[in-house]
Amino acid sequence: MELTSEQRRRYDRHIILDGMGRDGQRRLLDAKVLVVGAGGLGSPVAMYLAAAGVGHIGIVDGDFVSVANLQRQVLYTTDDVGSGKAETAAKRLRAMNPDVEVEVYETYLNEDNATDLIRPYDFVVEGTDNFASKYLVNDACVMLGKGFTIGGINRYYGQVMTHQPGTACYRCIFPEPPAVAEVETCSMVGVLGPLAGMIGTVQATETIKSIAGMGSTLTDALLTLDALTMEWRRFDVGRNEDCALCGKSPSITTLREYAYKPCAKK
């Protein structure tokens, strides 16, 4: 459908971009993106996707806003403490852009609901604080043939990768989750607040490019950031033919959840 006059005004700075234009903006308006985790990474991701005019955004998060979230989770204010993150995020996004339809899932992703939650969406953004969700998003999306971007932050460090069918998946780089004793949560070691915005906006950019068909994305690559030195590094990786999920002879054919605790809710 042709953009309305109001949409042409709202998205003018996108429409005049070489490589985006009206066709790219229409693809954004027609797209359905699922954001898994409405915390530090999910906050900037959801805000930029809504501002960009992604037409349907799903928010998956069963957590509640706490005071300790406010240092980095910029979707929320002090008045939101105690409220559900998914519904509170949805209210903010609807207020930002009436073009956007927001679907709320006040639950955590698990092996029983992951396939049903992900299936209706065109692209998935994983921004949680736990390995269980990262591997579930990876495994479910690969099985369903969905593109996704996964981000992670801890202390002063962050990383991002993007997958499209036929490219390296998360397991090609990290075949198995770390042992429980090796897992550090942000409540244990801390996390620099603005780091969430830096990695989250990369994920939002990857999502918009993937939908609009612009440029190149972080497929077959891992992008890392050391915020202390402000050093970004890109590691090119290939699809692992021996990957247990997407390789020639996959051994992982059903979803299995890993029991890692997210950041303590304080």
Report how far residue 244's alpha carbon sits from residue 217's, in angstroms, rounded to the nearest whole number. Answer: 24
Q: Is the dihedral of CA 96, 97, 100, 101 positive or negative?
A: positive
The percent of residues above 90 in pLDDT, for the chain, comes to 90
Asked if 125 contacts 259 with a C-beta cutoff of 8 angstroms, the reply is: no
Q: Where are the alpha helices (DSSP H) in 145-235?
A: 170-173, 186-189, 193-212
pLDDT above 90 for 260: no
Taking only the tens place, the pLDDT of each residue in 81-124 is 999 999 999 999 999 999 999 999 999 999 999 999 999 999 99
Kindly state the average pLDDT of the residues 211-215. Answer: 96
Q: What is the pLDDT of residues 37-96, one digit of tens each?
A: 999 999 999 999 999 999 999 999 999 999 999 999 999 999 999 999 999 999 999 999
Lowest mean pLDDT: which of 61-65, 140-144, 151-155, 189-193? 189-193
pLDDT in tens, 126-143: 999 999 999 999 999 999
259 band by pLDDT with thresholds 50, 70 and 90:
low
Q: What is the pLDDT of residue 245?
A: 97
Of how many residues is the chain composed?
A: 266
CATH superfamily of 31-236: NAD(P)-binding Rossmann-like Domain (3.40.50.720)
Specify the DSSP class assigned to residue 3. P
SS3 151: strand
Residue 185 has pLDDT above 80, yes or no: no
Average pLDDT, the chain: 94
Give the list of residues 6+ apart from residue 50 with CB closer than 8 angstroms, or none.
Answer: 57, 93, 96, 97, 100, 102
pLDDT score, position 184: 63
Tell me the mean pLDDT in the region 260-265: 45
What's the pLDDT at 189? 79
**Residue 266 pLDDT exceeds 50:** no
pLDDT number for residue 181 = 62
Q: Which two tokens stand for residue 58?
A: 């799903």
